[in-house]
Amino acid sequence: IKIKITNIDIPVAFASAFEGEIIRRGDMQVEFDGSRVDCAELVHTVDASEIEDHKITVVGPEVDDMELGSKNSIAYVVKVAGKNMQPDFEPVIERKFHNYINCIEGVYHTGQRDMQRIRISKNAFAAGFRLKHIGEVLYASVKNEFEAVVDKCEVIIYTDPAECTRIRHEVAIPTFNKRDDRLNNLTDESVDVYYSCILCQAFSPSHVCVVTPERLGLCGAVSWLDAKATNELDPNGPCQVITKERPIDERIGEYEDVNEAVKRLSQGALEDVSLYSIMEKPMTSCGCFECICGIEPFSNGVCIANREYAGMTPLGMTFPELASMTGGGVQTPGFMGHGKHFIASKKFMKAEGGIERIVWMPKELKEFVADRLNQTAKELYGIDNFTDMIGDETVATDPETLVEFLTEKGHPALGMDPMM
Ligand code: SF4
Ligand code: ZN
């Protein structure tokens, strides 16, 4: 028997009207920040016998035990069971956590996977809101929206820092890696359709992601397989099939059918997009890009900054400064938001020459993508250890020093045509 939960038992309001609510530092009781401490959000499919429906557990301190204004770890694991449940649906359910948690009055959520950020306001805390209520919201929302596949659901919320570290590194990251690896054998040419994603229109009304096997959604959380699963779960939902039968320009990845879909889904705000160009008709960005790539004229290349990177880039801008000019659902040639995994893709800026244009990345990001990026560089251009040629903040944060470094390393971008 399926029970529709209409009333969620929490001490504050729950409605989509609160989705755009921002909580300023001065108004916040506590925050959780995956870019600074170990955090994770995960859906985990288990056997029905291993689950107690509607059980909500908090392992570690509650908000009462956290210092006012402090930054804390959080990892929540939502266990689900159901005879129609497939592990392919896990990331689709996970991606909805963002919407669910944002609908809570006085609670703000951004990011995903192990990079989420949550703020709880002083008002919500004073009204009695606690972490166990995040569990209530996740439980009720997952049961409601995914009743076709989820029969039983249990939520465990970890705040104990050691447990968060364990969950993040031993459970969540291996799960995310396994999902990402499944995609490695798929190419854009090997599939018949792409998918749209308009989940972010709540914040960015004209934004549409076109998700292909070799270009995941810019949030990094929606791969082509995820979009496909989303479409199977909800054929009228945020991910729609986009055919790709009428190519206009294969060099930049432009298709008549894709343009038509984007125009319709953006309510006419966007006329045309390319899949593989940063300069010509680039895809738009909402606000949840994992990375931003921008052109660096002195080297004919591009610099990439990831959300976790707090320092300066050779573009003379920090990540938040880049974000302010890249987001908002408008096309900004020369800048694009993208997922981390797109960096090693053979389709990354293919129209402008591809990954050979990458001249700078924060060290941590470079290390994260190194194996895959080096493999792509070897396959495409026969270059060994390409990441050794790419600058980072330990080498340069200004264009002059960067170009000196690139010259010394013989970086291929220096010999390429200017991008503008
Ligand atoms: Fe979907 Fe794109 Fe938003 Fe990710 S960033 S949720 S792919 S619209
Ligand atoms: Zn978004």
Give the percent of the chain with pLDDT over 70. 99
* Residues measured by CB to lie within 5 Å of ligand 2, the ion: 200, 286, 288
CA gap 236, 371 in Å, rounded: 38
Three-point CA angle 81, 82, 85, nearest 5°: 95
pLDDT of res. 409? 98
Question: HSE (CB half, 13 Å, CA atoms) of 48?
Answer: 8
Beta strands in 225-383 (DSSP E): 241-243, 247-249, 254-255, 291-296, 301-306, 335-338, 358-360
**Does the structure show a pLDDT above 50 at 1?**
no
| Beta-sheet strand order (sheet of 335-338) | 335-338, 291-296, 301-306, 358-360
CA gap 248, 255 in Å, rounded: 5
34 alpha carbon to ligand 2 midpoint, in Å?
A: 17
pLDDT of res. 202? 85
Q: 222-238 in b/e burial notation, b at 16+ Cβ within 10 A?
A: bbbbbbbbbbebeeeeb
Nearest CA to ligand 1 atom 3: 200
Mean pLDDT value across residues 288-296: 96
Mutate to test the pocket of ligand 1, among 200, 204, 226, 342 (most ligand atoms within 8 A of CB): 200
Tokens of residue 250, six digits: 């294969």
Confidence band (pLDDT; 50, 70, 90) for 185? confident
- Residues at CB less than 6 angstroms from ligand 1: 197-200, 209, 211, 217-219, 221-222, 286, 288
Beta strands in 276-367 (DSSP E): 291-296, 301-306, 335-338, 358-360
The structure's pTM equals 0.77
Burial group, residue 191, by CB count within 10 angstroms (0-12, 13-18, 19+): middle
Give the percent of the chain with pLDDT over 90. 90
pLDDT of res. 4? 57
Confidence band (pLDDT; 50, 70, 90) for 280? very high
124 alpha carbon to ligand 2 midpoint, in Å?
A: 25
CA gap 59, 346 in Å, rounded: 43
Say how many residues make up the chain. Answer: 420
CA distances from 332 to 283, 291, 313 (A): 8, 15, 19
Nearest CA to ligand 1 atom 5: 219
Tell me the CATH number for domain 16-181: 3.30.1650.10
CA-based R_g, the chain, Å: 22
Of 320, 400, 353, the closest CA to residue 110 belongs to 320
287 alpha carbon to ligand 2 midpoint, in Å?
A: 5
Tokens of residue 45, six digits: 């499919």
**Does the structure show a pLDDT above 70 at 5?**
no
DSSP at 275 = S
Per-domain residue ranges of the chain: 16-181, 186-415
DSSP at 210 = E
Give the ligand 1 atom nearest the CA of 239. 1
Q: Which residue has the tokens 């004919």?
A: 300
Tell me the CATH number for domain 186-415: 3.40.1470.10
Mutate to test the pocket of ligand 1, among 286, 340, 342 (most ligand atoms within 8 A of CB): 286
pLDDT of res. 329? 86
Confidence band (pLDDT; 50, 70, 90) for 276? very high
DSSP-based three-state secondary structure for 407 = helix
Nearest CA to ligand 1 atom 6: 199
pLDDT of res. 6? 65
DSSP at 390 = S
**Does the structure show a pLDDT above 50 at 358?**
yes
CA distances from 318 to 178, 179, 299, 346 (A): 32, 31, 19, 27
Of 15, 54, 53, 22, the closest CA to residue 132 belongs to 54
DSSP bridge partners of 14: 104
Of 138, 106, 141, 135, the closest CA to residue 13 belongs to 106
